[in-house]
Amino acid sequence: MDTTTTQTDPAALAARLNDLLQLDHDAIQAYDLAITLLRSERHKDTLRRFRADHERHVSELTSLIQALDAVPVQLPHLQTGPFKLGMQALGGAAGALGGGDGAVLLAFKANERQTRDKYRRVADLADLPPGLSNIVRRAAADEATHYAWALETLDELGVDQDSTAARAERAVEIVNARMADVAEDVGRRAMQTAEQIRRGVSDPARGNPIAAAVVAIGTGLLVGNLFRRR
């Protein structure tokens, strides 16, 4: 958790909400792929309902960011989004655990863990404004439900969570979440800096959301490229 900046700072808060917004765009892409890969229509229908939760999060976060006089970044994470989709595609093609829906849901669960944990961390911040806190807490509860469903469904499918393959998947899940958090934190800080710059320039420039979005996205791309080269 970032304890160096208060979340009542509009630039810091907007950057954190934009990070969640991008996370939901990541999730929607991952859900689209998982729905394509799953065989069970029942499982597909459940994921369609969960995807609608993420679409609602996108709408709510967009309104919250705009209320802060900031620019919503309507893109997946450019640093980690392709990696998350690659993980899911690999799960769909995996022969471990017999393949099928079990393999797809193991990969799906790996992506959902980061979403659940990141929403939980933001919901637990002590200084969020009350109205915003309620929305984020509801979204965090959605993510906890999604992750719990994946665990329960894997049990129903007879996936042995203590098997060698399942333990290996769980280790990858934890590493995946931590690596994504680090990379996305770099992007969030870049967005915060860009938002602070935008708020500090002249009024005509502040009124140009397209220019502000270019600054935020461009800064994130630059820092993301630097991060990958480290």
Q: Mean of the pLDDT values across residues 142-170?
A: 81
Sign of CA dihedral 199, 205, 210, 211: negative
pLDDT tens per residue, range 105-116: 988 888 888 899
List the domains of the chain with CATH numbers. Answer: 10-195+205-229 (1.20.1260.10)
The pLDDT value given to residue 6:
46
- Residue 111 confidence (pLDDT): 81
Q: Which of residues 2 and 120 earns the better pLDDT score? A: 120
- Kindly report, residue by residue over 32-85, the tens digit of the pLDDT: 989 999 999 999 999 999 999 999 999 999 999 999 999 999 988 876 666 666
Query: Would you place residue 100 in the very low, low, confident or very high pLDDT band (cuts 50, 70, 90)?
Result: confident
**What crossing angle do the helices spanning 10-37 and 100-123 adopt, rounded to 10°?**
170
Q: What is this structure's pTM? A: 0.75
Give the pLDDT confidence score for residue 223 in this predicted structure: 39
In this predicted structure, what is the pLDDT of residue 158? 86
Question: Does 198 have pLDDT greater than 50?
Answer: yes
pLDDT band at 98 (very low <50, low <70, confident <90, very high): low
| 172 vs 55: CA distance, rounded Å | 27
Q: Which two tokens stand for residue 208?
A: 């140009």
- pLDDT band at 146, cuts 50/70/90? very high
pLDDT of residue 42: 96
